[in-house]
Amino acid sequence: MDKFSVDYRISKQLLSNNGGSYARPVVRLSVVGIALGLVVMILSLSVTEGYRGILSRKIVDMGAHVRISSLAINYSYEPVPFERDLPFIDTLRNHEDVKGLHFYYTKVGIIKTSDQVEGVVLKGVEDNFYTDGFAANIIEGHAPKCDTAKQNTEIVISSYHADKLNLKIGDKVRLYFVQNPPKYRSFTVCGIYETGLPDYDESFALVDLRQVQKLHDDGEGKVGGIEVMLHNFDKTAQFAKFANAVVGAEMKAEPVQQIYPQLFEWMDMFSANVLVLLVITAIVCLVTVISTFFIIILEQIPTIGILKTMGMQNGRVTTVFLMVAAKVVVWGLLIGNTVALTICFLQSRFHIVKLSAEAYYVDYVPVLVNWFDILWINFAVIALCLLAVLIPAYFVARKVSPVRAVRYE
pLDDT attached to residue 76: 66
pLDDT interval class at 193 (50, 70, 90): very high
| Residue 257 within a domain | no
Last residue of a domain, one of 216, 248, 280: 248
pLDDT attached to residue 370: 93
Give the number of other CB atoms < 10 A from CB of residue 249: 6
**Are 346 and 231 contained in the same domain?**
no
Which carries the bigger pLDDT value, residue 44 or residue 76? 44
Number of domains composing the chain: 2
189 with 141: CB under 8 angstroms?
A: yes
**Are 226 and 370 contained in the same domain?**
no
pLDDT attached to residue 91: 95
| Residue 254 within a domain | no
**Are 10 and 98 contained in the same domain?**
no
Last residue of a domain, one of 214, 248, 282: 248
**Are 143 and 207 contained in the same domain?**
yes
Measured CA angle at 233 (ends 232, 237), to 5 deg: 110
pLDDT attached to residue 333: 93
Question: Percent of the chain scored above 70 by pLDDT?
Answer: 89
| Residue 173 within a domain | yes
Q: How far is CA 249 from CA 6, 83, 95, 217, 253, in A?
A: 76, 15, 20, 26, 11
**Are 115 and 171 contained in the same domain?**
yes
pLDDT interval class at 19 (50, 70, 90): very low
Measured CA angle at 344 (ends 338, 349), to 5 deg: 125
Taking only the tens place, the pLDDT of each residue in 207-253 is 999 999 999 888 788 999 999 999 999 999 999 999 999 998 889 99
| Residue 390 within a domain | yes
Average pLDDT for the chain: 86
- From the list 222, 194, 221, 198, the residue with the least C-alpha distance to 206 is 194
The amino acid at residue 188 is T
**Are 79 and 166 contained in the same domain?**
yes
pLDDT interval class at 177 (50, 70, 90): very high
**Are 300 and 382 contained in the same domain?**
yes
pLDDT attached to residue 86: 92
Taking only the tens place, the pLDDT of each residue in 246-305 is 998 889 999 999 988 888 888 888 888 888 988 898 888 888 888 877 777 777 777 777
The amino acid at residue 338 is T
| Residue 278 within a domain | yes
pLDDT attached to residue 18: 47
62 with 202: CB under 8 angstroms?
A: no
| Residue 65 within a domain | no
What lies within 8 Å, CB to CB, of 409 at 6+ separation is 302
Q: What is the DSSP string of 225-276?
A: EEEEEES-GGGHHHHHHHHHHHS-TTEEEEEHHHHSHHHHHHHHHHHHHHHH
Check pLDDT > 60 for residue 407. no
Output DSSP code: residue 395. Answer: I
| Residue 255 within a domain | no
71 with 250: CB under 8 angstroms?
A: yes
**Are 234 and 284 contained in the same domain?**
no
**Are 196 and 338 contained in the same domain?**
no
What is the Cα–Cα distance from 395 to 286, expressed in whole angstroms? 17
pLDDT attached to residue 80: 87
**Are 9 and 97 contained in the same domain?**
no
| Residue 244 within a domain | yes
Backbone angles phi, psi at 98, to 5 degrees: -85, 125
397 with 315: CB under 8 angstroms?
A: yes
Check pLDDT > 90 for residue 113. no
**Are 400 and 274 contained in the same domain?**
yes
pTM over 0.75: yes
pLDDT attached to residue 125: 95
What lies within 8 Å, CB to CB, of 286 at 6+ separation is 384, 385, 388
Q: What is the DSSP string of 2-26?
A: -HHHHHHHHHHHHTS--TT-SHHHH
What is the Cα–Cα distance from 185 to 211, expressed in whole angstroms? 9
Q: What domain range includes position 196?
A: 72-248
Last residue of a domain, one of 248, 279, 297: 248
334 with 38: CB under 8 angstroms?
A: no
**Are 21 and 109 contained in the same domain?**
no
pLDDT attached to residue 20: 44
253 with 244: CB under 8 angstroms?
A: yes
pLDDT interval class at 75 (50, 70, 90): low
Check pLDDT > 60 for residue 174. yes
Q: How far is CA 216 from CA 13, 149, 179, 273, in A?
A: 84, 20, 10, 47
Backbone angles phi, psi at 26, to 5 degrees: -65, -35
pLDDT attached to residue 400: 61
pLDDT interval class at 74 (50, 70, 90): low
Check pLDDT > 50 for residue 176. yes
Is 376 strand, coil or helix? helix
Taking only the tens place, the pLDDT of each residue in 344-356 is 999 999 999 998 8
